[in-house]
Structure 1
Amino acid sequence: MTATGTPARGPRILADLTPLRLSAHYRRLWLGNTVSWIGQGMTTLAISLQVYDITRSTFSVGLVGLFSLVPLIVFGLYGGAVADTVDRRVLGLWSAAGSAGLSAALAAAAFAGFHHVWFLYGVVALQAVCAALNSPARSAMIPRLLPPEQLPAANALSSMTMTSGMLIGPMLGGLIVGYGGYQAAYVIDFAAFGAALYAMWRLPSMLPDRDRAKGGRASVLDGLRFLATRPNIRMTFFSDFCAMILAHPRALFPAVAGLWYGGDARTTGLLVAAPAVGALLGGVFSGWTGRIRRHGAAILLAVAAWGTAIAVFGLTRNLWLGLLFLAVAGWADTVSMVFRNTMLQAAAPDEMRGRRQGVVLVVRAGGPRRGAVLARVVAGVTTPAGA
């Protein structure tokens, strides 16, 4: 029998939707997060296009990522500590409302013809602050809404949310900006936050255990000390760093597209999209993850698969084979993320879950950027294939 009381029908292949059926709170949270992620993907592209339209400078567009990265790193750990101190529902509600308000400000400025690049940079930085407060609170809620055996399925569904936002959001953003202007993309993003706000509003109070036990004090240093005493959790971060820093080829895609495949910007777009497509398929066909018990071994195998796929991609000169191995790498990344998040959610006590997610946010924000720098340096000293 399955968790819902229906007869088992053999090994599951497609994503396990049991968490969506089991908990109405989780279902609303997942749907709201999915809709808002797509809206944020639209806004991210729209801001980059608007900055380029104002400055005609690719360097200025690159600064958009910097103004987003620094607040995520600075406030990531702090946001996790706050999530272990206050009602997570209230924190999630107010931080989502802040993001919605910033989208409204972007729309109002676009309607008014207020096109100033520093205004856009400021909004991007404030959006990152809201995300740094929202993400730890939202992630820490999930183990309170679902039983432990449903966490792998929930994390697979979350991977589909993130990948959909990265794929669908920019595509819709480009179409909407083309037909309706920047203001249309920002208005739709503002409306999309309504789903996330409704989901947060319907949640019960989410006070962390630490509030009840130790008077509501949560230290970032206490969270780091906790990680120092948990080698299994610590190794999940170490393995993730290895994958992101030592084998992250995205910065080389523009050069690779021309040198290896004789392509152009469209070829670069295919290279960028291939890992995301693989990651989405990894979430869609994730039903088997619920049967795995040795999550640490699964993480190491997935990281090894990621590195192997990237290395083979560096050896092939056939575009379609290259795209295939990049998709395999994206699939492996999803598998690693599912089991890594499950371990972190299950192994960390409730009063540490916010800070744990804050560390995840900092690692995921900083790791790929360091990997991009390393890839460029190694490619400059050797070749892109050597990197």
Structure 2
Amino acid sequence: MPHDDDHVPRRRARSVFVDITPLRESPAFAKLWTGTAVAQIGAQVTIVAVGLHVYALTESTLAVSFVALWALGPMILAGFVGGALADTYDRRRVALVTAIVAWVSISVMATIAFLDVSVTWPYYALAAVNAAAATILGATRGAILPRLLSPQLLPAAAALSGITMGLAITVGPAVAGVLVASVGFPWTYLLDAVLFTGAFLGILSLPTLTPDGPRRALGLDSVLESLRFLRHAPNVRATFVWDLIAMILGSPRVVFPAAGALVLGGGPITVGILTAAFAVGALLSGLFSGPLGAVRLQGRAVTLAVAAFGACTALFGVVLLGTGLIVGPGAPGEPVVPAIVLACIALAGTGAADNVSAVFRTTILQTAAPDDVRGRMQGLFYVVVAGGPRIGDLVAGGLATLIALWAPPLIGGILILGIMLVLVRTARGFMRYDAHAPTP
């Protein structure tokens, strides 16, 4: 007959895995999470499909880059406006209206694809509308979660959200590639329109969620008020600054195509593997995120996670540098498999570290910001998420052009690691941030 002690290791082993308590404790969160997970896969399908479609129409990589460029401005504007909307009106209604706008944009894209529209501007415009609506929806959803869950469950909720995003980034592009090759672009867009209906599942089940505090008029003053709040909220502000440091200095994705062609070998296949490695790391860190809920010093945890992100980014740079020295100038004849494996391990580490950082940054933002300003803080979060990596792409492209392909990840990673080690010593307030007594 087994003793009680026999079950202790088993309970400890289970505690390592992601905490699904939020799904059990809040049926509203469970439905919202499930619907979002389904919709995110469809969103990743469309992101890849639009790029492939534009390239098929133009045979221009520059034209493909314009998809993101067209969307950047609307996404940033939507981050500010969407946050203000979420702090002014019933958040359930804001989420529902923006979900309808996103679904209509996807449906129209599928329709014009079926009609064989071959000019690119409608696809640019619809992708921008969809990205803006998704930004408002994401900001509103982030402001809703603290109303559905206790503060103690928010880290687990953030980890669950990280799993869905990692799964979407891993599965969505693969599904898009298979569908585009087998059934074409119109049916691929249509799949997203069908999957996106999952988003309505969670939103429709929500109760009325009017923001706390006096009702504010929507306008510039509302946005300026959120910026004034940020000036006097060092912990919330730090979550944005730390993320910007990581994304601006540690975004080497623009070197992936050249690395696959000139250093690691394997061409587009290697690029796909490198891209997937980051997502797989994020997904695995989410699956094994159980212990994160017990961390109290979340500011220190963010800083150490970003430092680990920098170290792994630098390791990717070392792989490129070492492989380049061994292989020599020019394209390698065959894929350099050991180097590709090491590069994937490094990038999986960056994905895992980035996800851990995101769990704690999201939790700090949701618990430390008062409810009446929470939507606008979530909107600013999306502005940072949208803008930081794109600035990072410019920095990485410049370094790669001026020095070499290994320079952006190696130099950027070392800088991130060094800055975080300094901040561990100097940013004492953020290092003392206590999840049991959250302060902005």
- TM-score, normalised to structure 2, is 0.83
Residue number in structure 2 paired with 1:9: 11
Alpha-carbon distance in structure 1 between the residues aligned to 2:18 and 2:97: 31
Contact 2:22 2:30 in 1 (8 A): yes
Residue number in structure 2 paired with 1:171: 174
Alpha-carbon distance in structure 1 between the residues aligned to 2:63 and 2:216: 46
Contact 2:301 2:360 in 1 (8 A): yes
Q: Which amino acid aligns with 2:404?
A: T
- How many residues are paired up? 379
Pair 1:59 & 2:62 matched:
yes
Deviations 1:156-202 (A, max 9, x none): 01111212221211111121222222221122211112211121111
Residue number in structure 1 paired with 2:374: 353
Q: Which amino acid aligns with 1:376?
A: G
Alpha-carbon distance in structure 2 between the residues aligned to 1:156 and 1:178: 34
Alpha-carbon distance in structure 2 between the residues aligned to 1:239 and 1:191: 37
Equivalent residue runs for 1:176-195 within 5 Å: 176-195=179-198
Alpha-carbon distance in structure 1 between the residues aligned to 2:202 and 2:402: 50
- The two structures, once aligned, show a CA RMSD in angstroms of 1.6
Contact 1:83 1:137 in 2 (8 A): yes
Pair 1:381 & 2:402 matched:
yes
Alpha-carbon distance in structure 2 between the residues aligned to 1:185 and 1:385: 36
Alpha-carbon distance in structure 2 between the residues aligned to 1:161 and 1:55: 33
Matching residue within 268, 286, 289 for 1:286? 289
Residue number in structure 2 paired with 1:237: 240
Contact 2:166 2:282 in 1 (8 A): yes
Contact 1:245 1:372 in 2 (8 A): yes
Deviations 1:314-349 (A, max 9, x none): 112322112101111110000000000000000000
Pair 1:271 & 2:246 matched:
no
Residue number in structure 2 paired with 1:50: 53
Pair 1:325 & 2:325 matched:
no
Residue number in structure 1 paired with 2:302: 299
Q: Give, in angstroms, the shift of residue 214 of structure 1.
A: 4.1
Alpha-carbon distance in structure 2 between the residues aligned to 1:108 and 1:276: 31
Instruction: From the superposition, tell whether residues 111 and 31 of structure 1 become closer, same or farther in structure 2 (CA, over 3 Å).
Output: same
> 3-state SS of the aligned residue for 1:9?
helix
Residue number in structure 2 paired with 1:126: 129
Residue number in structure 2 paired with 1:4: none
Q: Give, in angstroms, the shift of residue 259 of structure 1.
A: 3.5
Equivalent residue runs for 1:75-224 within 5 Å: 75-210=78-213, 213-215=214-216, 219-224=222-227
Instruction: From the superposition, tell whether residues 352 and 386 of structure 1 become closer, same or farther in structure 2 (CA, over 3 Å).
Output: same
Residue number in structure 2 paired with 1:40: 43
Q: Give, in angstroms, the shift of residue 380 of structure 1.
A: 2.2
Residue number in structure 1 paired with 2:392: 371
Alpha-carbon distance in structure 2 between the residues aligned to 1:180 and 1:188: 11
Q: Which amino acid aligns with 2:78?
A: F
Alpha-carbon distance in structure 2 between the residues aligned to 1:349 and 1:250: 36
Q: Larger deviation: 121-130 or 33-42?
A: 121-130
Any gaps of 5 or more consecutive residues in structure 1? 1-6
Alpha-carbon distance in structure 2 between the residues aligned to 1:351 and 1:183: 42
Alpha-carbon distance in structure 1 between the residues aligned to 2:294 and 2:38: 29
Structure number with larger C-alpha Rg: 2
Contact 1:140 1:357 in 2 (8 A): yes
Residue number in structure 1 paired with 2:429: none
Deviations 1:106-125 (A, max 9, x none): 12212222332111111111
Q: Which amino acid aligns with 1:323?
A: C
Q: How many percent identity over aligned positions?
A: 43
Contact 1:86 1:216 in 2 (8 A): no
- TM-score, normalised to structure 1, is 0.94
Contact 2:78 2:133 in 1 (8 A): no
Alpha-carbon distance in structure 1 between the residues aligned to 2:315 and 2:173: 29
